[in-house]
Structure 1
Amino acid sequence: MTRKTLLVAGATGIVGAAALEHFSAQGDWDVVALSRRAIPPAPRVRHVALDLTDATACQRSAGAFEGVTHLLYTALYEKPDLVAGWRDAQQMEVNLAMLRHLLDALALGAPQLRHIGILQGTKAYGLHHTQVPVPAKERWPRAPHDVFYWHQEDLLRERQAGAAWTFTVLRPQIILGHAVSSPMNVIGAIGAYASIQRELGRPLCFPGGGRYVHAGSDSRLIARAAEFAATHAVAANETYNVVNGDMLVWQDVWPAIAAHFGMAVGEPTPLRLAEEMPRHEATWQRLVQHHDLQPLTLAQLLGSSWQFTDRTFGHGLETPLDRIVSPIKLYQAGFNGCEDTEDALIHWLARMQQSRLLPA
């Protein structure tokens, strides 16, 4: 059995954490976790503490990447104002520089590098600001808007000239998993919102806008898709949408979420979570004390996730735009993974409870 070594950049994020768990459980992979923050010890996982925005530090760390054969790049820089940052030139430049600094270090320290997997998202299609044809497909030309994905992908194509490695772009939609301080942790936001409402004796009211159809991407599924891309020649220099395989309408899974918390479903009650929920810090701290949770504030736990969840829930929109992408290309390539989105939501809520991040 040929051993492979995966470097996971952004190891404390939602996808990075799922990748560590998945690849370290496989018998033929060793894993190097790259992040600024520490990670829990795990078998066959070695941690490299590194700030990818620091070019000098990356150069000095090149030796830490000896033996790396594969890279999964999930590192991300977001501004505190999450949505405004998506069109911010400085945000794009920082994300580009982070990848460039790591590629420079790998060119020095990892001559055996064979494959790079990199995460994008459905902002590639413009789904975050406009109606696009249904379903969105990878073969379309680039959407006419600036996003850091294009800068990173162009850099990869430039660096690939004369190199021995290939790369694969993975495009999930609403990522389901958990990670502390992630700016887009809808699971954590739902769980904290439900826990606070329950503590206040209220039913679980859906706080968003009108119904619309989109999809979830379980982080465990993304990790499996990343392994497929890393180990199958058909995926070389390709782009794949990675979604669970079913559809998601928040109002239709809301009863299952309420049942998980032992709550009644209330009438839909529009609420801008990013404005309202920080006001409940005292209630949250009461829950932290009573349930012996990890001693985190809402801001420390969720980052900008309230704002992301408002957008995901279609807050303020009577008829949000459907956001549907096609998973067919990935299936046709030979990947057969799928997840039930309702089950995934409950799984990750339970995982956050087991990790003492949410009250049971």
Structure 2
Amino acid sequence: MGSSDRSLYNVLLTLATYALICRHERAPFLFPGSSYMWRHFCDVSDADLIASQQIWAGTTPSAANQAFNCVNGDVFTWRSFWKALCELFRVEFVECESEGGAPDWSSRMAGKGPVWAEIVEENGLKKTRLEEIACFGAVGCILNFGFQHVSCMNKSREYGFVESVDTLKSVAKWVFRLREMGVIPRD
């Protein structure tokens, strides 16, 4: 997760555009993943944390020529993540009831470019096209994993990198930055 006006594989930016499109169309903000992912633990990486770890790895002699995972260091459920998104984008929270996910989500959202253009125009946002800032296919795949996605930061910690990020606070931080950049509406 991070802030960029051309960050195609940013899970948060893709979900932000989805929430804003749902709000604009007065459509329910339904979780486009499986009930398995809704209930089980997952993790993500904050862009600032990745940058910090890269600087650390590049300037710490004992970290030379080593490979490290980089995730926030906590876990969350998509249910809790969805609640945070609902609050930030003022859309109604709806429990996930889908057993198999939403395979048509990507194709349905691919046709929402004109809706995004309306949102951009109405809010005076940076001129972006939906396909430049959202990757519904990749995010749809992530939200339909059939396994818990949790990476381990133990090796980084053993080598001395001990920073971590609270994922739900990170969501709010990046949404605020995207608003400040004019990529998404301020409200």
Please report the TM-score for the alignment, with normalisation by the length of structure 1.
0.47
Say which of 16, 21, 32 aligns to 1:207: 32
Q: Is 1:310 matched up with 2:140?
A: yes
Q: Which residue of 2 aligns with 1:289?
A: 121
Q: Distance in 1 between matches of 2:62 and 2:3?
A: 30
Instruction: Check conservation: 1:273, 1:306, Cα contact below 8 A.
Output: yes
- Report the residue type matching 2:173 in the other structure: H
The aligned runs of 1:1-360 (5 Å cut-off) are 176-209=1-34, 210-211=36-37, 212-268=40-96, 270-271=101-102, 272-302=104-134, 305-314=135-144, 320-360=146-186
Higher helix share: 2
Q: Distance in 1 between matches of 2:133 and 2:73?
A: 29
Deviations 1:256-295 (A, max 9, x none): 1100111211243643332111222222111111100111
RMSD over aligned CA atoms reads 1.6
Instruction: Check conservation: 1:177, 1:185, Cα contact below 8 A.
Output: yes
Instruction: State percent identity of aligned pairs.
Output: 25
* Cα distance, 1:203 vs structure 2: 3.5
Gap runs ≥5 in structure 2: none
Higher strand share: 1
Q: Secondary structure at the match of 2:67?
A: strand
Q: Secondary structure at the match of 2:14?
A: helix
* Cα distance, 1:230 vs structure 2: 1.3
Q: Which residue of 2 aligns with 1:72?
A: none
Q: Distance in 2 between matches of 1:240 and 1:267?
A: 35
Q: Secondary structure at the match of 2:52?
A: helix
Q: Distance in 2 between matches of 1:183 and 1:292?
A: 21
- Report the residue type matching 2:162 in the other structure: N
Q: Secondary structure at the match of 2:137?
A: helix
Instruction: Check conservation: 1:240, 1:330, Cα contact below 8 A.
Output: yes
Deviations 1:86-110 (A, max 9, x none): xxxxxxxxxxxxxxxxxxxxxxxxx
Gap runs ≥5 in structure 1: 1-175
Deviations 1:174-221 (A, max 9, x none): xx1133333311111101000000011133221111223221110100
- Report the residue type matching 2:10 in the other structure: N
Q: Distance in 1 between matches of 2:5 and 2:16?
A: 13
Structure 1 runs (4+) deviating above 4 angstroms are none
Please report the TM-score for the alignment, with normalisation by the length of structure 2.
0.88
Instruction: Check conservation: 2:42, 2:78, Cα contact below 8 A.
Output: no
Tell me which of the two structures has the higher relative contact order, counting C-alpha pairs closer than 8 angstroms and 6 or more residues apart. Answer: 2
Q: How many residues align?
A: 179
